[in-house]
Amino acid sequence: MQARILITGTSTGIGAATAREMAPGNTLCLHYNSSEREADQLHQLTDGLELLVNNAGGVVQRESIEEIEWETIEEIFTLNAFSTFMVTKLVLSLLRAGHHPQIINMTSVAMRTGSPSAVMYAASKGAVDTFTRGIAKSLAPHIRVNSIAPGVIVTPFHEKYTSEEQLEQFRAQTPLQRFAEPAEIARAVRYLYDSTFLTGATIDVNGGMYMR
């Protein structure tokens, strides 16, 4: 069956790779810089969704907890956590009308390990992880909800926010001694979509940076 899929944050990186992975045989709605108005417009384009991928996010800026300002905290949580909460709420009726629908949220290895230079980013991704488990229970059995916690991925994300020195530190902390390509995370999205007895799970795709 052709699936109707909404993916946020699709301009580059993981979102763009996920769109390419899920496109064959399916109908995709691609959003970036999404607003409530755009999410409402989706109701005019389709009467149901089979998959929502909440991928939009970013560091915003790296600062220590001593330096960070309240406005930056709000911006980080709005981009990474509040957007996931609200997009989910706004399209919930479409998911309920879908066939075997699922939500996949994107978190981060940072919420597992902590990040001294991006404390609030890690905290916002931790909020998404907790949100995943909560709505997995509240929306069961009709809607499955899972998440993916990527490690360091080769995307423009790090070109802007991560120095070469930091990248080398991250590489040294990764047992596989390399970073992932966005397509490797996109394949994890496909895996979750196809795993019909999986809900409330967070899949760690980080090259061994975090193990449990």
pLDDT tens across 1-55, in order?
799 999 999 888 999 999 999 999 998 887 766 555 555 778 888 889 999 999 9
User: What confidence tens digit (pLDDT) does each residue in 134-169 have?
Assistant: 999 999 999 999 999 999 987 776 777 778 888 888
Task: Return the pLDDT at 32.
Answer: 63
User: What confidence tens digit (pLDDT) does each residue in 173-198 have?
Assistant: 999 999 999 999 999 999 999 999 99
Catalytic residue ranges: 121
Domains assigned to the chain: 4-205 (3.40.50.720)
The per-residue DSSP string of 135-180 comes to HHHHHTTTSEEEEEEE-SBSSHHHHHH--HHHHHHHHHT-TT-SPB
> SS3 for 92?
helix
